[in-house]
Amino acid sequence: MPDSAPASKRAVVVGSSFAGLTAAFELRKRLDPAHEVVVVEPRDVFTFIPSLIWVPFGMRDPEDVTFPLEPVYSKKGIRFVNDAAVGFDLDARRVLTADQEIEYDSLLVATGPRLAFEKVEGLGPIDGYTQSVCNLEHAMLTRNAWQEFLENPGPVVVGTAQGGSCFGASYEFLLNTKHRIKKAGLEDVAPVTFITAEPFLGHFGLGGVADSEQRVEGFFEKLDIEGIPNNVISEVRDGEIELDGGRVLPFALSMIVPPFTGVDAVRETEGLGNPMGFLPVNDEFRHSEIENVYAAGVDVAIAPPEETLVPAGVPKTGQMSEVMAKVAAQNMAADIQGGERKSMPISEMEAICILDAGSGGIIFKADHVLGEAEHPRVMAGPQAHWAKIAFEKIFLESRKRGHPIL
């Protein structure tokens, strides 16, 4: 008698930003058609987060930086569940939403972060006094705040709070804000200050890349921006930020990237995340304690390369998230139907960052995201601005068609 067909199995991806989208495509490519790929995501669109720094200035609208997820997944034969995971039953191997329980044979957690504004009193656009560009809704609120600023300009404060890790977004928003202030002829009435948890400017949570400290300091001196590293925000009040030590910075506009934690569904599932809600993984991006659970993206726990005076996390860029996702997906496919496995120590991953400054910028590339880079590269000039625009267009057009070419 012929052998019976192998039992159908299901790979579930929770989250659909850079890591989740990439992992879903990779799983569908690697798995036989008999096996199912399911994506669980509360948003019905993908948002190209790196472009959100342009939204407040009207350089991008929501439709420019998003695309609907369901048609893309449907075309690829991936089931899309437009719902939020509220928890995980690790023993029964189920993802829990408000309306259903989805069983899995292999699970990838790619939820991204929770924005922990509450860790600093007065921080955030909803219950506080500062703006954010961490998601599309916040970027649109920042657009409103920018228009109000133009009508009533004054000092600007931009930065990343203690415990934060997304330093690139705060640098880019800072440089674009300064560019727009200059174009509006407001430099005399709108001084700009940058506050950061980094031990020095250009540290980026990575210990710096080549001469990034000197490059960033040179940018700041040229643009007349005061930079305050090793910063702790004590409290934010209406129109002013108080730093640890007592200095008070007045502002007419402020954008502060908050600390990140893991999402509630992870934090409230015993044994899944660390105390901050991030998932510990091995070099296969499999959970260090749970065999059938993987993680990729911002929700992965990465220890900083060095202890800093003020807590500063390691950034997880979109490029890093995609690398993690591809490694995790290959190993999930191997779990389900066999095949070659892959390891990728986080310390050996590359880091590429483009800091747009409105008409110029800086490009950083490190061959090792943690530790000493062997061949770091830093370039400054207008090519950085155009490189980011090109990357945005290539990425969005390729992903809309279900082709993760990068």
What region does 124 belong to: left with phi over 0, alpha with psi -120 to 50, or beta?
Answer: left
Asked whether the beta carbons of 278 and 313 are under 8 A apart, the reply is no
Cross-strand bridge partners of residue 87? 96
Whole-angstrom CA distances from 289 to 111, 293, 351 are 19, 9, 27
> If residue 19 lies in a helix (H) or strand (E), which one and from where to where?
helix 18-30
Q: Tell me which of 85, 353, 357, 362 is the catalytic residue.
A: 353
For residue 134, indicate whether it is catalytic: no
Contact 265, 141 (CB under 8 A): no
Q: Among 166, 253, 332, 336, which one carries the catalytic annotation? A: 166
Strand partners, 225: 192
Tokens read off for 161: 């709070």
| Cβ neighbours for 257, distance < 8 A, ≥ 6 positions apart | 132, 133, 134, 159, 160, 161, 164, 166, 167, 169, 170
Helix (H) or strand (E) holding 379: strand 377-380
Q: Which residues pair with 287 in a beta bridge?
A: 281
d(CA 244, CA 33): 57
CA distance 129 to 123: 6
Provide φ and ψ at 384, rounded to 5°: -65, -45
Q: Tokens standing for 352?
A: 């590429």
Tokens found for residue 33: 């058609």
Alpha helix locations (H) across 69-135? 69-76
Q: Which two three-digit tokens encode residue 275?
A: 């105390």
Tokens of 338: 């066999």
Contact between 285 and 322 under an 8 Å Cβ cutoff? The reply is no
Give residues with Cβ within 8 angstroms of 403, minimum separation 6.
none
Number of H helices, E strands in the chain: 8, 22
Q: Point out the residues that are catalytic.
A: 166, 353
